[in-house]
Chains A and B, each alone.
Chain A
Amino acid sequence: MSALLDPRRVKQDFPIFANNPGLVFLDTAASSQKPNVVIDRVSDYYRHDYANVHRGVYRLSARSTELYEGARETARRFLNAADASEIVFVRGATEAINLVVQSWGAAFLKAGDEVLITELEHHANIVPWQLLRDRIGFTIKVAPVDATGGLDMAAFESLITPRTKMVSVTQLANATGALLPVEAIIRLAHAQGAKVLIDGCQAAPRLQVDVRALDCDFYVFSGHKTYGPTGIGVLYGKRAILNDMPPWQAGGDMIETVTFEKTTFQQPPARFEAGTPDISGAIGLATALDYIESLGRAAIEAHEGALTEYGMDKLSRIDGIRLVPAGQRRFGILSFAVEGIHPHDVATLLDGKGVAVRAGHHCAQPLMEKLCLDATTRASLGIYNDESDIDALADALKAAQAIFAR
């Protein structure tokens, strides 16, 4: 494992930069760019190895199946899951959460139960629970953020009760970059007998993740934020829990025997993968995960941690720029307000300088309301970013301020 990441070399692996000279890409939290190895792997697969999986007797289909199941093994290794059968391929983290809600939630939650989430959640970890609650009648409780924008752990602890059946939280908040103490959260939840789902969308591409060390019950992440293709993602679930979960979508591949009277279903993970899956997406994702491993996950974590510090320091030195929330520890994501300029105007002006950032509520409207903001500007880091990108951001912000100072 390499000790240090060289972002300039990494950048050369991503053709988007050669094809868009001057691009300063600071929107990896929305979706990451793709390295050549992933782009090539997907098209090579279609050129050389494509056939449907799990069905054909012929050798080409067997090879395709082997590659698809090999991708599952790569994802298992990436999360350090105990067994590849604990890896379910889905369209992305959104679908993974919906799967857990509609399968596990519908089977095991009842009126009077409680699901505990936090104010830091993405809409995808709020709304699916609300839809099921409206059908079943359980209660959703929301743990608040503290004055610094991190999770208020004292409040969180007081909200976990024997009625809590599920704790569903993000590991790294997409809107503000706040890191949550998921180890403590999982311990507290398990002490009350609750299951825990971790939304790893922002954490999986940035931090070293070990689902066995965490002991979480579910872990979800999206391929497209992890340098892989769009349309593929991973649901990890403990084998014993997946075993007890009913199917959520039905079709080919997930059945054992079908008659018009009765159908029996496959074991996990096939039970949860109805129809032809995104085979090329899974293979492309596995290539992306291998690529991340080749750079070294400790090196990535160290690089993005240091760059986050550099960015916080750089932005806090500009008059009229305020990090949101002010005192918060953050990782990989810098959310900020520019005095007197609306985030959408900031983003347009930065775009004029080739700096791509996100402006808006970041699919976290309740959190924005709590922070008394309609929107923020968000710069988020990836493995290809370095200090020159932060410097370009700072210069573009100063230019935007100059235009609005007229």
Chain B
Amino acid sequence: MESRDLYQDIILDHGRKPRNFHALEHPSHFANGHNPLCGDKVTVFLEIENNVIKDVSFQGRGCAISTASASLMTEVLKGKTLEEADKLFKAFHAGVTGGEVEAMPEVLEDDFERLAPLEGVKGYPTRVKCATLAWHAFEAALKSGEVGATVKTE
């Protein structure tokens, strides 16, 4: 695979100008993600009401892949139910690890398409963790409620 396939314009754009890159003032959930291998750090904030992700944001430091992945994640998760978010996470995870991707319900097809540029990391086994770091932090935020938890990508 060529480097340009991995570093597509959308990745560079979100890596440089991440969206939803701030802390939420009143998060209902948040969690820290840390990749001890490379030092990348991310905090994901969620505001969940009646099973719906009303708002989602992140802060942190990392490479273009992990920053772009976190940024795109916040874009697609906003307004989703937790069930829909879980479907997206599972499909995304399968996509970047070269696994079997289940067909998306129609309502999620566009969102899943938004995440497609990150699928390039499946050709770079050492970079998969960069793409999944924010998603693992999202999952940890859900599981641990309002209490911060640190998730490692090991």
Task: List the A side residues contacting B130 at CB < 8 Å.
Answer: 344
Chain B, 60-97, contact with A by CB distance < 8 Å: what is the 0/1 string?
01111100000000000000000000000000000000
Given A341-B64, A348-B124, is A360 in contact with B7 using a C-beta cutoff of 8 Å? no
Q: Which residues of B contact A352 (CB under 8 A)?
A: 2-3
Q: Give the residue of B6, B39, B126 whose beta carbon is less than 8 angstroms from that of A374.
A: B39
Taking a contact as CB atoms under 8 Å apart, the answer to whether B2 and A348 are in contact is: no
How many angstroms between the C-alpha atoms of A343 and B62 in the bound complex?
9
Other-chain residue from A345, A361, A374, A406 in contact with B65 (beta carbon distance below 8 A): A345
Q: Would you call A342 and B39 a contact (CB within 8 A)?
A: no
A188 to chain B, nearest CB (A): 34
B9 in the interface (beta carbon within 8 A): yes
Taking a contact as CB atoms under 8 Å apart, the answer to whether A406 and B12 are in contact is: yes
Q: Are A342 and B63 in contact (CB under 8 A)?
A: yes
Provided the pairs A359-B38, A360-B37, A375-B39 are in contact, do residues A403 and B64 lie with their beta carbons within 8 angstroms? no
Interface residue from B38, B65, B126 paired with A375 (Cβ < 8 Å) = B38
The answer for the CA separation of A286 and B116 in the assembled complex, in Å, is 52
Question: Bound complex: CA of A395 vs CA of B115, how far in Å?
Answer: 32
A362 to B62 Cα, complex, angstroms? 16
* Min CB–CB distance A404 → chain B (angstroms): 6
Tell me the nearest residue of chain B to A400, going by C-beta.
B3
Does B127 touch A at the CB level, under 8 Å?
A: yes
In Å, the complex CA distance between A340 and B130 comes to 17
Residues A404 and B7 in contact in the complex (CB < 8 Å), given A342-B62, A344-B130, A348-B127: yes
* Inter-chain contact B61/A374, CB cutoff 8 Å: yes
Q: Which residues on A sit within 8 Å (CB–CB) of B63? A: 342-345
Q: Does A182 contact B (CB under 8 A)?
A: no
* A85 at interface by CB-CB < 8 Å: no
A344 to B121, CA, bound (A): 13
B32 → A minimal CB distance (Å): 15
CB contacts under 8 Å to B, within A274-293, are: none
- B3 and A349 within 8 A (CB): yes
Q: Using C-beta atoms within 8 Å of the partner chain, give the interface range for chain B.
A: 20 to 34
Across the interface, name the chain A residue whose C-beta is closest to B9.
A406
* Chain A stretch 331-376: residues in CB contact (< 8 A) with chain B: 340-345, 348-349, 352, 359-361, 365, 368, 374-375
- The CA-CA distance from A404 to B2 in the complex, in Å, is 14
**Alpha-carbon distance A293/B39, docked complex (angstroms):** 39
- Chain B residues whose CB sits within 8 angstroms of the CB of A348 once the complex forms: 3, 6, 124, 126-127
- Which residues, 377 to 406 on A, are CB-close (under 8 Å) to B? 400, 403-404, 406
Q: Which of A340, A348, A403 has the most CB of B within 10 A?
A: A348
**In contact, A345 and B7 (Cβ under 8 angstroms):** yes
B38 near A360: Cβ-Cβ < 8 Å: yes
The verdict on A365 contacting B39 (CB below 8 Å), with A344-B63, A348-B3 known, is yes
Interface core residue of B37, B39, B61 (most chain A CB under 10 Å): B39
B4 CB-CB contact with A under 8 Å: yes
Which residues of B, 1-47, contact A by the 8 Å Cβ criterion? 2-4, 6-7, 9, 12, 16, 37-40
Ranked nearest first, the 8 interchain pairs of A and B with the lowest CB-CB distance are A342-B63, A352-B3, A344-B63, A374-B39, A345-B64, A345-B63, A349-B3, A360-B38
Known: A345-B65, A348-B127. 4 other contacts (CB 8 A): A342-B63, A344-B63, A374-B40, A404-B12
Between-chain CB contacts (< 8 Å), 30 pairs: A340-B16, A342-B63, A343-B63, A344-B38, A344-B40, A344-B65, A344-B127, A344-B130, A345-B7, A345-B63, A345-B64, A348-B3, A348-B6, A348-B124, A348-B126, A348-B127, A349-B3, A359-B38, A360-B37, A361-B39, A374-B39, A374-B40, A374-B61, A375-B39, A400-B3, A403-B3, A403-B4, A403-B7, A404-B12, A406-B12
